[in-house]
Structure 1
Amino acid sequence: MTNLYPVRRALISVSDKTGLAEFGQALIARGVELLSTGGTANALRAAGCEVKDVSDVTNFPEMMDGRVKTLHPVVHGGLLALRDNDDHVASMNEHGIGAIDLVVVNLYPFEKALARGAAYDEMIENIDIGGPAMIRSAAKNHGFVNIIVDVEDYAVFLSELEANDGYTTYALRQRLAQTAYARTAAYDTAVSTWMAGQVGDAPRRRSFGGQLVQELRYGENPHQAASFYADGSGRAGVATAQQHQGKELSYNNINDTDAAFELVSEFAPKDGPACVIIKHANPCGVATGSTVKEAYQKAFDCDRTSAFGGIVALNQPLDEETAKEITGIFTEVVIAPGASDAAKEVFAAKKNLRLLTTDGLADPRAAGLAVKQLSGGWLVQDKDTGFVPAEELRVVTKVQPTSEQMADLRFAWTVAKHVKSNAIVYVKNGATVGVGAGQMSRVDSALIAAKKAERMAEALGLPAPLTQGSAVASDAFFPFPDGLMEAAAAGATCVIQPGGSMRDDEVIAAADEAGLAMVFTGMRHFRH
């Protein structure tokens, strides 16, 4: 097998017709014969390209609404024949099979149909059959055949033809084949994952697919290589956000920005401005306010030390006044559903500050998967979309929470869902005032959160920590009264927790003795 092979005949059948006219014209100019089907053939002819219908080559019409058109020996024989194998060449001659040197296919838009929530029957019709079959045939025979599945490879391919006078190298064909196999794998992943959701059972085999967004400078640490892939779901967030300024996002930036955006998406814009500040994937400040600026200020005042170099997420568009406030300290990333021109001007002076805007917020109740790789396998679970309506909360103490306390309890519970376990969150007047995250002991989380509040009170010149008179949330039940008592010692007056401990009665009795109001949710939010 030689390295260089000519491109004399191409089969093109695409759903995404971006750049098709120019690409077809460039191939015609090089003397390449074009075969095509349906709408692709019409689009090429409209661009002035001479095209032969595949049905004229196979002597078999397109049928069954286009389901059967390229599934034919004349097509696949032209793709799979080894050009340097005498028996294959003899078979081609005997059966009138012409070699096909290039296939351009980009598949039915299954992922786009999935992203817009298409009905079952439409999803089925968007499952491509002939396309993947041709892709795999061409990719298998990449020693001779070129396969293009992405529009962005048109220019690379044409440059290769230009450099080699109508020939392509084995190296290019091999790279194109790898891209093609990855594309069909991701496509089949989308189909099989969707179908698994329809069936409802854990599938016997599970695959994951994505499209490269960017190669990252490094991973969590400089010695780790890393890349960022989008899953094609179209979910609003860092994967679909537009970056307006600042240097390239790092692995840790992306991870933390996702954590910030997922939490701020819990707060509907119609309910007022909300701000989240994240550091190392944990919230160090979360607040609501009458304005976006006030929400930021209240979130910042929870833990000003940790906020330095943090990630800020807003549930409403960034305005000029808030932008000025944010630039008061070093901030890595700001993500919001929009930003005014004046706010962008403020940020323009901070060249390293990244500003991302999204098309709305993520739906915190939308189903999805959370995946974790471990040695020799994967752990797969549903995303934590758990939500407890107000009417399902159960007061278990003699003291009933006031309406103001209940509002803070629900706020604290929302935040605790996004804090690494063991999580303790103190909230007062719609703002976190102490966050304890990731400790092996729930008591330690309560102590750390309270200590942070004490330090912030000193820094702000307050007479007492803001945990005095606060609401406190625990992501899982208190197994003993000790953690609850630490929260009470910090000044908490009401508590929200899942309940379900063998010692619930002891914990409730301790709450009653301390004069606390306590609410059970019946749902825990471990986050490891």
Structure 2
Amino acid sequence: MNLRYGMNPHQRPAALTAIDPDRSPFRFVHGEPSYINVLDAAAGWELVRALGRPAAASFKHVSPAGAAVAGPIDAVQANTYGLDPAATGPLTRAYVRARDADPKSSYGDFVAVSEPVDAELADLLRRVVSDGIVAPGYAPGVVATLSAKKGGRFLVVEADPGFVPPPVETREVYGLRLTQPRDEAPLTVTDPALPDAAVEDLRLGLVIARHTQSNSVAYVRGGMALGVGAGQQSRVDCTRLAGAKVDTWWLRRHPALSGLAEGGRVQEVVARQIRATAALSAVERADWLRGLDGVAFVSDGALPFADNVDEAARHGVRHIAEPGDSVRAAEVAARAAAHGITLTRTGVRLFRH
């Protein structure tokens, strides 16, 4: 099929071809995809389907700004998105939790969800700025609701849950053809000393890292990302940038901001919250940030220096998972122990480029 354009509007014509002409992983229900839309749909769908429960991801530029499994939504999320926590279904809660990790970056996102889209989620999506969605199905009437977004240009993609991708991936770059096996290494956390909640958060972080442009890190708590760092040349810079997102997420919950999550469009509410966090005094910020705890941290590559551990500890991290085997692995482990952080070595690098 013809694409709207390639990575940029001047890259035309652009086209999409299924490797197997008899079966495609996606059906484009409404809208005309661009090259990046297809990449976001593929990465987003792979991420959410790997979690084995109602899950959602908010993608921007081929990396998740946030991802989450279904779970409780707090008062800030409920008021920001105009929802009743007691009456909101699991798929909508998963998406709210995913988008709320970094709602500023999620403006104009590509949505991925693991379950068929119902009317409740469609109504929420009608009220936020996003470019498209991939899901394994749509309830009656939902496609019509979504198709009206963006003046009729909102992209609706249906994924085939039974599709099995080829075991070998191929990419052509500058007259060269690269081939490799698909990255299907099991993502497990087996430390028996870890509480179940930490194991689940670390596994979610590993799935996020697998589908995020490297270098990447993810801070996770309670089944949702609080901050995702992507595409940085320096790992500690990535850790700091993602940590700043974690701080913003937590500061939006400061008691002094309790009335700011009500009234106005979602993005206006978020902007109001973020501006208000900057108005907190240094003492107020520091006191509140010290209250964040129980965060899990995942790195797609080995932590090369202990400064990554120091930075992670500033954002409430209590559990770290990383591949291990860096030159300074012993120093990294010692620093984690000094901070009271459990360190799990997975032995699996998860670079994505």
Whether 1:356 aligns to 2:143 is: no
**Structure 2 CA distance for partners of 1:465 and 1:497, relative to 1, 3 Å:** same
Q: Deviations over 1:158-194 (max 9, x none)?
A: xxxxxxxxxxxxxxxxxxxxxxxxxxxxxxxxxxxxx
1:370 to 169, 174, 181: 169
Q: Following the alignment from structure 2 to structure 1, what is the Cα–Cα distance between the partners of residues 160 and 326? A: 42
2:186 to 365, 387, 390: 387
Q: Which amino acid aligns with 1:337?
A: P
Contact 2:305–2:332 at 8 Å: present in 1 too? yes
Q: Deviations over 1:242-264 (max 9, x none)?
A: 41x3x311122112111211211
Q: Deviations over 1:262-316 (max 9, x none)?
A: 2112122xxx310011000000110011510110110011011111111111111
Q: Following the alignment from structure 1 to structure 2, what is the Cα–Cα distance between the partners of residues 466 and 419? A: 28
- CA positional deviation for 1:501: 1.3
**Structure 2 CA distance for partners of 1:466 and 1:333, relative to 1, 3 Å:** farther
Runs of 4+ in 1 over 6 A off after TM superposition: none
Residue matched to 2:51: 267
Q: Which amino acid aligns with 2:167?
A: G
**Structure 2 CA distance for partners of 1:460 and 1:320, relative to 1, 3 Å:** farther
Q: Which amino acid aligns with 1:220?
A: M
> Across the two proteins, how many residue pairs are aligned to each other?
300
Residue matched to 1:136: none
Whether 1:250 aligns to 2:34 is: yes
**Structure 2 CA distance for partners of 1:258 and 1:465, relative to 1, 3 Å:** farther
Q: Following the alignment from structure 2 to structure 1, what is the Cα–Cα distance between the partners of residues 320 and 159? A: 35
Residue matched to 2:266: none
Q: Following the alignment from structure 2 to structure 1, what is the Cα–Cα distance between the partners of residues 21 and 135? A: 19
Q: Following the alignment from structure 2 to structure 1, what is the Cα–Cα distance between the partners of residues 169 and 46? A: 13
- CA positional deviation for 1:464: 4.1
Residue matched to 1:476: 301
- Scaled by the length of structure 2, the TM-score of the pair is 0.79
Q: Following the alignment from structure 2 to structure 1, what is the Cα–Cα distance between the partners of residues 9 and 233? A: 28
Q: Kindly report which structure 2 residues correspond to 1:22-421, keeping only aligned pairs within 5 A, or say none.
A: 214-225=1-12, 226-232=14-20, 237=25, 240-243=26-29, 245=30, 247-268=31-52, 272-290=53-71, 291-350=90-149, 351-360=152-161, 362=163, 368-390=167-189, 393-394=190-191, 400-421=193-214
Whether 1:501 aligns to 2:285 is: no
Whether 1:524 aligns to 2:311 is: no
Which residues of structure 2 form unaligned runs of 5+? 72-89, 256-287
Q: Deviations over 1:131-166 (max 9, x none)?
A: xxxxxxxxxxxxxxxxxxxxxxxxxxxxxxxxxxxx
Residue matched to 1:425: 218
Q: Following the alignment from structure 2 to structure 1, what is the Cα–Cα distance between the partners of residues 55 and 21? A: 25
Task: State the SS of the aligned residue for 1:305.
Answer: coil
**Structure 2 CA distance for partners of 1:300 and 1:233, relative to 1, 3 Å:** same
- CA positional deviation for 1:330: 1.4
Q: Following the alignment from structure 2 to structure 1, what is the Cα–Cα distance between the partners of residues 306 and 319? A: 14
- CA positional deviation for 1:367: 5.1
Q: Deviations over 1:374-399 (max 9, x none)?
A: 33412211111111444xx357xxxx
Larger Rg over CA atoms: 1
Q: Which amino acid aligns with 1:380?
A: T
Q: Following the alignment from structure 1 to structure 2, what is the Cα–Cα distance between the partners of residues 467 and 475? A: 23
Q: Deviations over 1:451-482 (max 9, x none)?
A: 11222334455654996421000001111111
Q: Following the alignment from structure 1 to structure 2, what is the Cα–Cα distance between the partners of residues 317 and 489? A: 38
Task: State the SS of the aligned residue for 2:104.
Answer: helix
Q: Following the alignment from structure 1 to structure 2, what is the Cα–Cα distance between the partners of residues 466 and 304? A: 22
**Structure 2 CA distance for partners of 1:467 and 1:264, relative to 1, 3 Å:** farther
- CA positional deviation for 1:354: 1.8
Contact 2:187–2:207 at 8 Å: present in 1 too? no
**Structure 2 CA distance for partners of 1:354 and 1:519, relative to 1, 3 Å:** same
- CA positional deviation for 1:371: 2.4
Q: Following the alignment from structure 2 to structure 1, what is the Cα–Cα distance between the partners of residues 332 and 168? A: 34
Residue matched to 1:490: 315
Contact 1:434–1:467 at 8 Å: present in 2 too? no
**Structure 2 CA distance for partners of 1:441 and 1:362, relative to 1, 3 Å:** farther
Q: Deviations over 1:189-214 (max 9, x none)?
A: xxxxxxxxxxxxxxxxxxxxxxxxx2
Q: Following the alignment from structure 2 to structure 1, what is the Cα–Cα distance between the partners of residues 24 and 69? A: 21
Contact 2:147–2:156 at 8 Å: present in 1 too? no
Task: State the SS of the aligned residue for 1:347.
Answer: helix
Which residues of structure 1 form unaligned runs of 5+? 1-213
- CA positional deviation for 1:352: 2.2
